[in-house]
Copies of this chain bind each other. A is one copy, B any other.
Amino acid sequence: MGAVKTKRMPRAVREQQMLDAAVRTFGQRGYMAASMDEIAELAGVSKPLVYLYLNSKEDLFTACIRREAAALTAAVRAGVRRELPADRQLWEGLGAFFAHTSLNPDGWSVLHLQARTHGEPFASEAAAMRAEIVAFVTQLILAAAREAHRDPDFPESDVVGLAEALVGAAEALADWANATPGVTARQAAATLMNFAWSGLGNLMDGQPWTPPDAAHEASG
């Protein structure tokens, strides 16, 4: 029995190997083109074993999305120390985000591209992860705004759009950094920090950009 135990890997380890193979295959070839044969071969197991453990291509893809979403959100949360000033929190959060997406380009592709575009239940899984990140960023910006304005009731609705903009910019820069040779995670983080911080910082200080008035507009 001892011999059998050492030969056989625990189910949890096998499953992780299957998910590793699946994330790589879905990320590089896309959900539709990826085949279960390919995934089983890459994982070094038989196709029936993949079905036994993970049931179907749909369930396997869902498991990939959940694992990659949990890993990304955990990486960002772990990168942020709430006791630091707001700009340092943002800098560290961005650093953690770009480090994770550059080290896991196939996982990023599964989350950002594949999961959102092959209907349900995949789109909902990806949307839930994105909503969690937007909510986290919203709270970061809200805490900074409440501190800067010395107003504990500063409305959350004033910063939701800013969080959406920041997350959208981060998504685009992750795609760009992963597709552009020579662009490092740190450069992507620094680019977004430069782009975002001075703008957010001015807003925190109550100095928004002022739209031209209608009269100027008409004569412009």
Footprint of B on A, CB under 8 Å? 30, 32-33, 81, 84, 87-88, 91, 113-114, 116-119, 161-162, 164-173, 175-176, 183, 187-188, 190-203, 207-209, 211-212, 220
Contact = CB atoms under 8 A, between A and B. Distances in A.
Contact of A84 (B162, B176, B220): B220
A31 B128 CA distance: 23
Given A119-B30, A199-B200, A164 B168 contact: no
Contacts of A190: 211
B172 A191 contact: no
A186 to B, nearest CB: 9
- Tell me how many chains of this kind the complex includes: 2
B161 A91 contact: no
B198 A176 contact: no
A186 B139 CA distance: 24
A128 to B, nearest CB: 15
